[in-house]
Every structure is written in C-alpha cells, then in structure tokens.
Structure 1
Amino acid sequence: MEYLYMEPIGLTDLEVLEVGTQACPPDMSFGPCVRDMYILHCVHSGYGTYTAGGRTETIGPGGLFLVLPDTVHAYRADPAEPWHYSWFGFAGTMAPRLVGQAGFAAPLPVRLPDPALPVEPLFRSVMSMRDQPAKELQLTGLLYRILGMLAEPDEGPPLSADAGHHVRKAISFMNARYADRLELEDMAEHVGLDAKYLCRLFRQRLSLSPYRYLTDLRMAKACRLLRRQLLCIAEISRSVGYQDPLHFSRMFKRTIGLSPTAYREKARRESTHDQEDGRQEQPADSSLR
C-alpha cells in the first residue's frame, strides 16, 4: 500500500486530505467502521464488495465507490481476483453538493464502470504527484477534474437564451437545493425579488411557475434514481425533497403518468431488452471478452 497525507492548507470549499493506492491480498477486508471524511475509490483491476446502508454491491474494474463521513461501511476484496484500487480522502463545504452532482447517492454511493467517462487513468496518477511542488493544490485540482467529469447535467425544462438573470439565478438555486423543503419565498429571497414578481418573470420567460419547474426538476431526478435500481421508493422520495413517500408517488404519477414502481419496472425491462439485443448482435465466433 502507498499513501500520502496532506498538510491542510486552508481550502474550505474542497480539500484533499489523503491519497493512496493498494493492491489487496485475497479476502482483505476493512470495517465495519466510520470515517470522518469522504473517501472516493476507483478500482483498477480485480473485484470486491462494498457495503453501506444495509446494501452490498460487487464492484470491478472501472467502478467507483464513495465512503460517506460518519456512515458505517465495509469493503472486502474478492478471494479469487482481489481488487487494486486508488483513493482520494477529502472534505469541504462544497463536498456534499459535488458528490451529489457526480451521481453518488446514499445509502449505497456507487457508480459502475462507464466507458464514456475515463476517470480511472486519473486515479492512477495520484501517487506520481507526491514529489510535485504544491502537490496539495495539484491533487485538489485533479479531484475537481474527476468530479467534473462524473457530474451529471442539471435536469429540468431547457432554458432559452433570454431566460433572464433572475430566472437563471432561481433555477441554479433549485438545482442546488431541490432535495430540501423549498418555498417560493426561499427562491425569491435568494434572488432578491418579491415572490409574486418572481412568479411573473417565470411565466413570462418559461411559460410555467417556479413551483412547476421545481416539480419537473425533482421528477427528472427521481426518474434517474429509479433507473439506477439502487434505492427504495421512500429513499428516492426523501432524496428529491418529499418526506412523505405517498405524496411523492402521487406527484410522480401525476407528472410522469406512471407510478414510481411501474416506471422502475418499465426501465428494468427496457434495460434487459437492450442487453439481450446487444448479445444477439455479437458474432457467434467472437474472441472478444
């Protein structure tokens, strides 16, 4: 195992506290325990399991898993093909928002391999920076780059070029705070306008109310979480700003036209069908694995 601890340099938004890499022996385990920082792992080769929030996921090459602060977790290397991974340990006031935008959701913050997002080589470079000048800043910049590559685009109705400064500012606020209990007065206060005037601007610019925009945004986020098949309905409800799962289910069906359970099942069937089509298109004598 190689690791490097950083000297704090006073960054408050995001600061790397440690980096490391390890080729684990078979069945090597860590936890159950808690840590006081975020720790983002990327698997270079081999396999292992990650457990958090009462759930377990098997992760292989290119997969990522995130340890959340003060959350019980455990991970174990595969007995036959143990994994080799690298990691960033970090903290900061922007960390919760950045990891959320990067697609990591409790209770099991995992991202499976995505060939379109080649972040694994960036993790391989962490230890090469140990002797670089200002390595703390360089590693923090590298972490920003990784999280930026993983970040999913904001969802919701598209904005026209003439949406207006105050409307865009309100929408940025909703994109950052959609999981909280938001009232129209909160949005208006953030942009420095009267609530009724903000509503009028939304209707003029987007032909919908701020409340409808927020609902559409939350439903788009919920659809993404349902397609990932990781969280139960109640967990998704709370993740998109609804403390009452029944109210969330009613709003989802009213907006999307299906219940959350029906939408999830439809997405699962479509995913299975796409995978079967992909297998059928492969040549029978292909030597690629």
Structure 2
Amino acid sequence: MHKTFTLNHTDNIELNLYQYGEESCHKGHRYGPAVRQHYLFHYVISGTGTFYSESGAFPVVAGEGFLIHPHDVTTYCADKKDPWHYMWLEVDGLIAARIFAECHLSRQSPIYRPNLNKDNVSALGYLRQIVEHGDEHRLKVQGLCYLFFSTLISNTHDQRAPLRDDKTRHLQKAIKKIENRYHEPLSVESLAAYCNINRSYLCRLFKSAYGIGPKAYLLNFRMSIALSLLKNSNTAIKVVGISVGYENQLHFSKAFKKMHGVSPAKWRQKYLSEQQAAR
C-alpha cells in the first residue's frame, strides 16, 4: 500500500506542509541514497527498519520515527523479515527547525524515541487523520499537523535531559531576538552579546541544533518573510527589503538572488504566473 498527498499551495511561513503519505514496504525495500529539499519525518506504525545517514546506521522500530534534514544524503531500508509500515510528513518553515529541536532530534540524533509513560496513541491518531484527509481539506490538515507535532514534543520532554538547560535557554533567547528584530541591523556579535555568551559558542549552539550558524539562520528567516511578502502583497521590492532588514534594494536583491537564483522581481513574476496557470 502506498498513499501520497501533495499540497499545491504552501503559504504558511511558520510551518509549511508539502506532502504527506503512508507506505507499507516490502521486505528489504530500500530508498536512497537520496537528498530532500525539506524536512521529512517518518513515523513507524509497525515492523522495523534501518535509517542510514552520515551520522551512522540507526535501527527504528514501531512507535519510533526518524528525521531527514534538508540537503542531507540518506538511505532507509525495511527489515528483511519484519518490514516497516510508516506514515510521513514533509515540512519546512520558520518554526520547523525549532519543533524538531524540541523533540530532541538533530543530525547526530535523528531517531524519535517517545517516553513510554506518555500517550503516544494520540500522536498516531492525529497522523492517521492527516493521511486520511485529501488535499481538499488543507486547513484541517494543517491544524492536525500542529497537533501532531505538539504531541510529539510533549511526549519527549521528560524522556531525556531537561529541555530548558543553559544551552537551550541561550539558543531560544537568540532565536526570539531574531524573530522580533529581524527587520533591524543584527550581527552575530550583537546576538552573542545579547545572550551574554561569546560569538564562537553561539555559532556552536546553532550548528549543533540546526546544522547552520546564526548568520545563515537569520538570512533564512529574513528570506522566508520576504517570500511571504512577495507572494501575498503588492509591496514594492525596495519596501520588502527594508521590511526584512536591508538598508537598500541592491543589497536585498543580491542576497535574494544568491539564495533563489533570480531577482525578487522575477521570482514574484514567476510565482504570479504559476498561480494564474493553476486557476
């Protein structure tokens, strides 16, 4: 059995759900090596298998899950005797990295192992509802996605080290600063000073949690806001740039083109043309 739904409109900048589905794999079925453009989380319902990444080989059993990070080369393989049956979600957005960090998932630790004292049935229930709804129920599916990840987080909190340790507090403080002040001049040094730690330590915290440094995190955040403005408003390119922290249009356009391969104006034109064609 294989079931996949693809969402054509992904305008929620906080948490975009791109695809979701379900698959019951044959014995020894292997996928990869492959690279994904977004986060891909698999939740194993029954059976077992192995997830392979640069960090190693990880056995996964029913009730557990594994996370694939964007742009990582990974492979996963169903067991030859007891192949897995899983459901999966492909997501991205401004809070996606934070959600997975709060589930204690990282490149070094990509396996979700829930607290057995918690109600993991409700997490599976939300996921089943997501997969059972077609893409015509987009708003409901989006809400269920939030409920699913919220349940994963609550089922994880007392499983390992306390969430709010010093490292997490520093990281969350820096992220809040970025979220609240992205439209102002921000440097890695000023973020570190705000958190009362040095620049190198802040960079290590971001690298460990998100695989990128604070400068790249800030850039990604600003560009996500810029994309939303380009999609959903007629705001002038210059004003979009100023709104996300760039003093002039040239600097904004250069940064945007470096990330997306085209200028903001051409990106907007292409997006609007695609929307017209889809109607």
Same fold (TM over 0.5): yes
One-letter amino acid of the structure 2 residue matched with residue 145 of structure 1: L
- Aligned equivalent of 1:122: 126
- Aligned equivalent of 2:164: 155
- Aligned equivalent of 2:148: 146
Q: Secondary structure at the match of 1:69?
A: coil
Deviation at 1:61, TM superposition (A): 0.7
Q: Distance in 2 between matches of 1:172 and 1:114?
A: 23
Q: Secondary structure at the match of 1:96?
A: helix
Task: Structure 2: state its 5+ residue gaps.
Answer: 178-186, 211-279
Deviations 1:87-122 (A, max 9, x none): 011121222222212221113411124331512232
- Aligned equivalent of 2:113: 112
- The question of 1:3 aligning with 2:10 is answered no
Q: Distance in 2 between matches of 1:29 and 1:82?
A: 10
Q: Distance in 2 between matches of 1:8 and 1:176?
A: 28
- Aligned equivalent of 2:173: 173
Deviations 1:255-281 (A, max 9, x none): xxxxxxxxxxxxxxxxxxxxxxxxxxx
- Aligned equivalent of 1:81: 82
CA contact (8 A) 2:43 2:63 kept: yes
Deviations 1:35-64 (A, max 9, x none): 111111100000000011241111111001
Deviations 1:141-183 (A, max 9, x none): 22222222233474147xxxxxxxxxx9x99524768xxx965
CA contact (8 A) 1:55 1:108 kept: no
- Aligned equivalent of 1:260: none
Q: Name the % identity.
A: 24
- Aligned equivalent of 2:15: 14
CA contact (8 A) 1:5 1:17 kept: yes
CA contact (8 A) 1:52 1:108 kept: no
- Aligned equivalent of 2:208: 239
**TM-score of the aligned structures, taking structure 2 as reference length:** 0.57
> Alignment RMSD, CA only?
3.4
Q: Distance in 2 between matches of 1:126 and 1:144?
A: 11
Deviation at 1:13, TM superposition (A): 1.3
| Equivalence map 1:1-289=2 (5 Å) | 1-115=2-116, 116-118=118-120, 119-130=123-134, 133=136, 135-151=137-153, 152=157, 154-156=163-165, 172-174=172-174, 185-186=190-191, 211=196, 239=208
Q: Which runs of 4+ in 1 moved over 6 A?
A: none
Deviation at 1:16, TM superposition (A): 0.7
- Structure 2 CA distance for partners of 1:11 and 1:33, relative to 1, 3 Å: same
CA contact (8 A) 2:171 2:205 kept: no
Deviation at 1:240, TM superposition (A): 6.7
